[in-house]
A and B are shown apart, each in its own frame.
Chain A
């Protein structure tokens, strides 16, 4: 599969408080991605949608198709949390491989900033009698367990937030363009202890989309800047965080193994990484489980600007979920593509291998994408 498929186009809306419905946002992002690819919408024969987090609607994929004025043979909406963006690229490749379609749009939109944030604050079934609410609290359990098992200090979590916020501060598209210091991080209030405000991603309206096709098709269509997919992989675990045997590992172990094997490279070959940072612990554990450093070795890897632009492994060069937009993951794929095209705002000079992680639920699902020139 290595380099047989490409991301042919990328597109997105503004990020922040937009006050638009999600079907319109998806339509705008798809339009931008098709324009970027130089492909007419009539060529699209598959539409894969990661459904909005803030509302569940039946046959949502067909609503987006209708708004785009297309009749794709293949696709639909997929529920896998934030891992779904990369998973849907994988599914597009599978569908093309089996002859179901040739040109696929993969898109995501949500509007929790101007709409409802209730999905992130929800009571957790009967356990709400204990006050067990919210998405953040589940990650708080994982953060606490990791800090206890490995002695991971606040400075390690802070280093990731500092990098994302510094990169976002120089991104004119970013929703939050404000760099922070370690003191700022340590002084930021608890959301759910041990999570500080600066450990937590933004809440954002916005949409982003990519066009997927075979490298051969991209050549035939005259796509200007196709970026080859070198490796892709997925991993999943079960539902309730509190029923897991292990709290201190992620499915990045699985999804990374498959993606790196497919790409035929190792973590140390990666030049730039976009790591899903819904919370700082998610990002540190993903890097750890990819094998960038041994379990518990986060601080030595991230300290002193090593993951900032100009450092050993620049991460989240457009700001990630912590700074560019809280959108669950598609923006990371777009930045991964820009780094290989050489068009990123904070470009890593000569980047050959670009890594993207997506992650869903409370570390329930994971997906990995490796792009290369």
Chain B
């Protein structure tokens, strides 16, 4: 699979991408109890900076999903049709991801489990459907 786009890594989101290179998905967890993605300098709930990176359990659910039948960039042509989903982690943060499943199997509310795609130079978080 071609690596169509590279991510922009900076000081703030560096630990997130470093985690994926180790095969784990991390999110920010604040002393106030709020958890989120993507990386921010300040907690969007309490506006404090008392947060740390936590490792996600890898369990989640599909909030919604779409299937691309046309490519908005030539690099995605050979992947058509492909899905993009919104996944809510068990810990609360939500993220965009791909689900390793055929279109017919995708359901809103379905349980998924993290599968870090290590075949890419910069690994990314994908998910597999729970049986």
Q: Which residues of A contact B (CB under 8 A)?
A: 121, 123-124, 126-134, 137, 140-142, 144-145, 148-149, 189-195, 241-243, 247
Q: Which chain B residues lie closer than 8 Å to A194 at the CB level?
A: 66
Residue contact B65 to A131, C-beta cutoff 8 Å: no
Known: A142-B64, A145-B108, A148-B107. A131 touches B94 (CB 8 A): no
Known: A130-B124, A133-B73, A144-B108. A190 touches B94 (CB 8 A): no
Interface centre among A132, A137, A142, A149 (most CB of B within 10 A): A132
Closest CB in chain A relative to B115 CB, distance in Å: 13
Task: Please report the C-alpha to C-alpha distance between residue A315 and residue B94 in the assembled complex, in whole angstroms.
Answer: 36
Task: Please report the C-alpha to C-alpha distance between residue A121 and residue B70 in the assembled complex, in whole angstroms.
Answer: 11
Q: Which chain B residues lie closer than 8 Å to A247 at the CB level?
A: 63-64, 86
Q: Which chain A residues lie closer than 8 Å to B118 at the CB level?
A: none
Within 8 A of A (CB), among B98-127: 98, 103, 107-109, 122, 124
Residue contact B63 to A145, C-beta cutoff 8 Å: yes
Residue contact A128 to B84, C-beta cutoff 8 Å: no
Could you tell me how many residues of chain B have their Cβ less than 8 Å away from some Cβ of chain A? 37
Residue contact A189 to B69, C-beta cutoff 8 Å: yes
Residue contact B109 to A131, C-beta cutoff 8 Å: no
Residue of A nearest to B69 (CB): A190
- Report which of B66, B76, B108 forms a contact with A192, defined as CB distance below 8 A: B66
Closest CB in chain A relative to B91 CB, distance in Å: 14
Residue contact A148 to B84, C-beta cutoff 8 Å: no
**Interface digits, B2-13 against A, CB 8 Å rule (1 contact, 0 not)?**
011111100001
Residue contact A149 to B67, C-beta cutoff 8 Å: no
Residue contact A131 to B68, C-beta cutoff 8 Å: yes
Residue of A nearest to B6 (CB): A129
Residue contact A192 to B67, C-beta cutoff 8 Å: yes
Task: Please report the C-alpha to C-alpha distance between residue A128 and residue B98 in the assembled complex, in whole angstroms.
Answer: 11
Within 8 A of A (CB), among B1-30: 3-8, 13
- Report which of B68, B94, B103, B107 forms a contact with A137, defined as CB distance below 8 A: B68
Interface centre among B3, B38, B71, B107 (most CB of A within 10 A): B38
Task: Check B45 for interface membership: any CB of A closer than 8 A.
Answer: no
Known: A130-B98, A243-B94. A123 touches B65 (CB 8 A): no
Given A128-B5, A133-B68, A141-B65, output 5 extra A-B contacts at Cβ < 8 Å: A129-B124, A131-B72, A131-B76, A191-B70, A242-B86
Task: Please report the C-alpha to C-alpha distance between residue A242 and residue B84 in the assembled complex, in whole angstroms.
Answer: 11
Residue contact B73 to A141, C-beta cutoff 8 Å: no
Task: Please report the C-alpha to C-alpha distance between residue A83 and residue B17 in the assembled complex, in whole angstroms.
Answer: 36
Task: Check B52 for interface membership: any CB of A closer than 8 A.
Answer: no
Residue contact B79 to A141, C-beta cutoff 8 Å: no
Residue contact A121 to B72, C-beta cutoff 8 Å: yes
Q: Which chain B residues lie closer than 8 Å to A141 at the CB level?
A: 63-66, 86
Q: Which chain B residues lie closer than 8 Å to A128 at the CB level?
A: 4-5, 73
Residue contact B79 to A131, C-beta cutoff 8 Å: yes
Closest CB in chain B relative to A306 CB, distance in Å: 28
19 contacts between A and B (CB under 8 A): A121-B72, A126-B8, A126-B13, A126-B38, A130-B124, A131-B71, A131-B76, A131-B79, A133-B73, A137-B84, A140-B66, A145-B64, A145-B108, A148-B109, A190-B67, A191-B69, A191-B70, A193-B69, A195-B66
Task: Check B96 for interface membership: any CB of A closer than 8 A.
Answer: yes
Q: Which chain A residues lie closer than 8 Å to B36 at the CB level?
A: 243
Interface centre among B71, B79, B84 (most CB of A within 10 A): B84
Closest CB in chain A relative to B31 CB, distance in Å: 21
- Report which of A123, A140, A148, A243 forms a contact with B73, defined as CB distance below 8 A: A123
Q: Which chain B residues lie closer than 8 Å to A190 at the CB level?
A: 67, 69
Q: Which chain A residues lie closer than 8 Å to B8 at the CB level?
A: 126
Task: Please report the C-alpha to C-alpha distance between residue A232 and residue B95 in the assembled complex, in whole angstroms.
Answer: 35
Q: Which chain B residues lie closer than 8 Å to A129 at the CB level?
A: 3-7, 122, 124
Residue of B nearest to A245 (CB): B94
Task: Please report the C-alpha to C-alpha distance between residue A131 and residue B68 in the assembled complex, in whole angstroms.
Answer: 8
Q: Which chain A residues lie closer than 8 Å to B68 at the CB level?
A: 131, 133, 137, 192-193
Residue contact A193 to B38, C-beta cutoff 8 Å: no
Residue contact A134 to B72, C-beta cutoff 8 Å: yes
